[in-house]
């Protein structure tokens, strides 16, 4: 096997598997996301600052933020209106993506309840009953299927217009709910808020930029305490509650002698059936007949996080690895559902024997084979797709195969229920550790990769700085793979944490970085924050917590950031959002929101500096709760900035 040093590519990523496969891609004549980013330079300055508008055909328009060119679009919209509208539409798109994913799971739950699917069943009846209670459904004497059907029917109304308040938002502390009521941002119907957001931002409707952004908050809350939370809760009920287990990650999880299938996308409905189908004896026998030792699954992006959490299926990589996984030449088939799937994977696959199979009728990829997914007969479809992979194994070209590294161990499966169980049933031990200052606070590091940032540098540097300073880190989405590959998610990584956090981790046998799941599972962070706040009798904004999205790229991340801040958690973004063309909007997001929601955004691309901002914030919150605190001003910014690219 050729050894690719990847020396020319060390600026692109912190990881050796990326370097090696970038070099191989170059040798194989394969274009990657980094090449295309370069071809796009220079990217549009107006769009980067958020001051371009193409909402109607009197435009497209652009407002010159430096004052030389026009200050208004053809309709008269100024920079504030244009920036606010663009940001609000990003929130609506992101919230819609998560919430429509939730809707698909909800439909599956309904099919289960009605006995109309031969594939899914209720895996966690306790979760089902807990949810039923929250929705006021009587469960006594009822069969699980009946409860599932009634619960699904009730939750469908969360997407409609009869509700004044989304029921799951009642999980937030009372004080938080009062803020939402006062500001008219309490989420009502999920579809309603999203459609209203699109309505308001069409030409000639809401032209008060503050009013636009407030509805952006409401829309994001309908995601966080609605669509995403529904996706998480119902996935647990259908596919099982995640519990702690070991797994592994990076391109080394691919096996040279196995049929390799990559699971890419977001919805566990698909990845769960592929996982089950890959254990089918007939297909395993066929794999042997075709010369393979077995069938190996590996995840990419959030559906990878879903099956990692529940089944311990390893992950081949995060967002920026989707093309490079194919470049190994060892992938028989990549099956995709929706979201974060670069259309380029079809082109990449053409250079190898890899088949790309799309599955959801709402997400087709020209050049891919489409196998229409039907939740009523999911298992048959799962088997069909696995068979396609097995039959493709003999077409593999040995000379093109290169699996560049050994995999790295990591620990996964920290649902809130599992965390509480590890703590002995209540959040009290965690609270005690925070009160004593053994753990100073907790930070959720979430979100994507972005080729504008050296891959995984933002995630891992920020994580290291935080755990060194006794701050517990929880991760979801692509941040998970970054930290996992860096060896930060095994119990032994407690040695990399400060003395307080290290002692707690060692006592419990857990890593200092806990995996909470996929992007929709950011709602587990909300649930944990609400549980801590409710136990202490304070609002979430009083807690020593923060969020960070060091390498975000997706509209979904904008929706997440907005609902996290609107839930009272200070959030630092690593990638710059397209808002800097409006100083007013920037001021509102970074200062003004504090007076209303008790939290703001900050933008800081340098993870070492971001860590300082977060540590200062956490110490301020500790002081506010009369807990032993370090003087925030004594925490200095590093002198040299980190080279990010």
C-beta closer to ligand SF4: residue 73 or 568: 73
In this complex, which beta carbon is closest to ligand SF4, that of residue 59 or of residue 498?
59
Binding residue for ligand SF4 (CB under 6 A) from 31, 37, 48, 59? 59
**Options 21, 53, 238, 579; binder of ligand SF4; rule CB under 6 A:** 53
Q: Does 268 bind ligand CUV (CB under 6 A)?
A: no
How many residues does this entry show for the chain?
Answer: 645
Which single residue is written with the structure tokens 């020319």? Answer: 8
Tokens of 86: 């663009």
Phi-psi region of 77 (alpha: psi -120 to 50; beta: other; left: phi over 0): beta
Residue 72 CB, shortest distance to ligand SF4, in Å, is 8
CB 57 → ligand SF4: shortest distance, Å? 7
The mark string for 305-324 relative to ligand CUV (x by CB under 6 A, - otherwise) is -------------xx-----
When asked if residue 615 is in the footprint of ligand CUV (CB under 6 A), the reply is: no
> Is residue 74 a contact residue for ligand SF4 (CB under 6 A)?
yes
Residue 53 interaction partner, one of ligand CUV, ligand SF4, none, beta carbon < 5-8 Å per kind: ligand SF4
Q: Are 581 and 51 in contact (CB under 8 A)?
A: yes
Number of residues that bind ligand SF4 (CB under 6 A): 14
C-alpha torsion sign, points 569, 574, 575, 580: positive
Report whether the peptide linkage leading into residue 60 is cis, meaning its omega lies within 30 degrees of zero: yes
Is residue 47 within 8 A of residue 358, CB to CB? The reply is no
- Which are the contacts of 283, defined by CB distance < 8 A and separation ≥ 6? 277, 295, 383, 386, 387, 390
- Which position among 58, 126, 507, 645 is part of the footprint of ligand SF4 (CB under 6 A)? 58
Does 47 help bind ligand SF4 (rule: CB under 6 A)?
no
* SS3 category, 105: helix
- Residue in 448, 466, 494, 610 binding ligand CUV, rule: CB under 6 A: 448
Question: Residues 20, 22, 30, 55: which binds ligand SF4 (CB under 6 A)?
Answer: 55
Q: Which of residues 98-127 bind ligand CUV (CB under 6 A)?
A: none
Give the side-chain half-sphere CA count within 13 A for 554.
25
Residue 310: φ, ψ to 5°: -90, -30
Measured CA to CA, the distance from residue 560 to residue 453 in angstroms comes to 20
Cα–Cα–Cα angle for 491, 496, 499, rounded to 5 degrees = 95
**Alpha carbon distance 27, 38 (integer Å):** 18
Nearest distance from C-beta of residue 588 to ligand SF4, angstroms: 20
Instruction: Considering only the stretches 49-57, 386-394, 448-456, 463-471, report the one whose residues sit in contact with ligand SF4 under the rule CB under 6 A.
Output: 49-57
Residue 448, contacted partner among ligand CUV, ligand SF4, none, CB below 5-8 A by kind: ligand CUV
CA separation for the pair 381, 638 (Å, rounded) = 54
* Residue selected from 101, 556, 615, 622 as contacting ligand CUV according to rule CB under 6 A: 556
Instruction: Decide if residue 554 touches ligand CUV (CB under 6 A).
Output: yes
Contact indicator for 461, 607 with CB cutoff of 8 Å = yes
Site string for ligand CUV, 329-358 (x = CB under 6 A): -----------x------------------
Quick check: 363 and 337 in contact, CB under 8 A? yes
Cβ atoms of 375 and 361 within 8 Å: the answer is no
Instruction: Choose between 85 and 266: whose C-beta lies nearer to ligand CUV.
Output: 266
- Residue 412 in tokens: 């996964």
Query: Can you give the three-state secondary structure of 281-348, one letter per residue?
Result: HHHHHHHHHCCCCCEEEEEEHHHHHHHHHHHCCCEEECHHHHHHHHHCCCCCEEEECCCCCCCHHHHH
Considering the rule CB under 6 A, would residue 447 count as an interface residue with ligand CUV?
Answer: yes
- 64/374 with CB nearer ligand SF4: 64
Is the distance from CB of 497 to CB of 512 less than 8 angstroms?
yes
Q: Which of 50, 73, 317, 561 binds ligand SF4 (CB under 6 A)?
A: 73
Binding residue for ligand CUV, selected from 266, 311, 609, 616, defined by CB under 6 A: 266
Site string for ligand SF4, 169-208 (x = CB under 6 A): ----------------------------------x-----
Tell me the window of 70-78, 313-321, 387-395, 618-626 that interacts with ligand SF4 (CB under 6 A). Answer: 70-78
- Residue 462: its H or E element: helix 457-468
> Is there a cis peptide before residue 365, judged by omega within 30 degrees of 0?
no
Asked if 79 is part of the footprint of ligand SF4 (rule: CB under 6 A), the reply reads no
Interhelix angle 268-277/228-239, nearest 10 degrees: 20
Q: Which of 53, 321, 519, 530 binds ligand CUV (CB under 6 A)?
A: 519
Among positions 1, 38, 44, 54, the unique one binding ligand SF4 when judged by CB under 6 A: 54
Instruction: Decide: 356 and 334 in contact? Cβ < 8 Å.
Output: yes
Give the pair of three-digit tokens for residue 440.
Answer: 């100073």
User: Is there binding between residue 592 and ligand SF4 (CB under 6 A)?
Assistant: no
Which residue number, 108 or 301, has a Cβ lying nearer to ligand CUV? Answer: 301
Nearer to ligand CUV by C-beta: 94 or 167?
94
- Residue 60 touches ligand SF4, criterion: CB under 6 A: yes
Residues that bind ligand CUV (CB under 6 A): 266, 301-302, 318-319, 340, 447-448, 477-478, 518-519, 554, 556
Residues that bind ligand SF4 (CB under 6 A): 53-56, 58-61, 73-75, 77, 82, 203
């Amino acid at each position: 096997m050729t050894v690719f040093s990847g020396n020319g590519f060390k600026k692109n990523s912190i990881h050796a598997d990326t370097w090696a496969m970038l070099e191989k891609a170059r040798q194989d004549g394969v274009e990657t996301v980094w090449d295309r980013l370069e071809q796009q330079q220079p990217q549009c300055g107006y769009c980067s600052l958020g001051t371009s508008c193409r909402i109607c055909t009197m435009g497209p328009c652009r407002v010159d933020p430096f004052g030389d060119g026009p200050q208004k679009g053809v309709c008269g919209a100024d920079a504030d209106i244009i920036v606010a509208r663009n940001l609000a539409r990003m929130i609506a798109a992101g919230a819609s993506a998560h919430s429509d994913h939730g809707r698909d799971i909800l439909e599956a739950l309904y099919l289960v309840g009605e006995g109309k699917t031969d594939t899914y069943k209720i895996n966690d009846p306790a979760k089902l009953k807990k949810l039923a209670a929250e929705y006021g459904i009587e469960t006594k004497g009822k069969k699980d299927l009946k409860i599932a059907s009634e619960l699904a029917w009730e939750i469908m109304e969360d997407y409609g217009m009869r509700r004044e308040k989304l029921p799951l938002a009642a999980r937030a502390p009372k004080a938080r709910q009062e803020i939402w009521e006062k500001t008219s941002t309490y989420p009502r119907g999920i579809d309603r808020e999203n459609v209203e957001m699109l309505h308001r931002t069409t030409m000639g409707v809401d032209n008060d930029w503050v009013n636009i952004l407030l509805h952006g908050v409401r829309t994001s809350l309908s995601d966080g305490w609605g669509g995403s939370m529904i996706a998480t809760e119902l996935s647990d009920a259908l596919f099982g509650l995640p519990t702690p287990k070991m797994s592994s990650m990076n391109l080394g999880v691919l096996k040279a002698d196995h049929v390799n299938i990559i699971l890419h996308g977001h919805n566990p409905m698909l990845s769960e059936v592929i996982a089950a189908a890959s254990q089918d004896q007939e297909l395993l026998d066929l794999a042997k007949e075709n010369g393979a030792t077995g069938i190996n699954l590996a995840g990419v992006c959030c559906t990878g996080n879903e099956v990692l959490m529940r089944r311990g299926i390893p992950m081949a990589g995060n967002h920026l690895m989707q093309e490079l996984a194919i470049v190994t030449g060892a992938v028989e088939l990549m099956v995709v559902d929706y979201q974060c799937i670069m259309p380029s994977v079809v082109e990449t696959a053409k250079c190898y024997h890899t088949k790309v199979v799309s599955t959801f009728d709402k997400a087709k990829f020209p050049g891919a084979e489409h196998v229409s997914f039907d939740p009523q007969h999911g298992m048959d479809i799962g088997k069909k797709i696995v068979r396609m992979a097995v039959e493709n194994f003999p077409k593999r070209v040995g000379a093109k195969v290169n699996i560049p590294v050994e995999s790295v161990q990591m620990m996964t499966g920290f649902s809130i229920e599992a965390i509480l169980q590890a703590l002995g049933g209540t959040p009290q031990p965690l609270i005690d550790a925070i009160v004593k200052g053994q753990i100073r606070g907790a930070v959720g590091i979430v979100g994507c990769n972005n080729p504008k940032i050296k891959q995984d540098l933002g995630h891992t540097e920020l994580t290291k700085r935080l755990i060194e300073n006794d701050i517990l880190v929880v991760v979801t989405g692509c941040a998970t793979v970054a930290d996992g590959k860096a060896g930060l998610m095994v119990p032994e990584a407690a040695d990399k944490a400060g003395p307080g956090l290290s002692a707690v981790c060692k006592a419990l046998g857990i890593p200092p970085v806990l995996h909470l799941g996929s992007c929709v599972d950011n709602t587990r962070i909300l649930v944990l924050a609400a549980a801590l706040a409710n136990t202490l009798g304070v609002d979430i904004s009083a807690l020593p917590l923060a969020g960070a999205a060091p390498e975000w790229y997706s509209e979904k991340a904008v929706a997440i950031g907005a609902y996290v801040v609107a839930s009272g958690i200070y959030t630092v973004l690593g990638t710059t959002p397209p808002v800097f063309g409006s100083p007013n909007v920037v001021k509102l997001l970074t200062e003004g929101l504090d007076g209303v929601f008790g939290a703001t955004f900050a933008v800081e691309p340098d993870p070492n500096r971001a860590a300082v901002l977060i540590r200062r914030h956490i110490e301020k919150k500790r002081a506010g709760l009369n807990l032993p605190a370090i003087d925030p001003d004594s925490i200095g910014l590093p002198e040299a900035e980190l080279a990010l690219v």
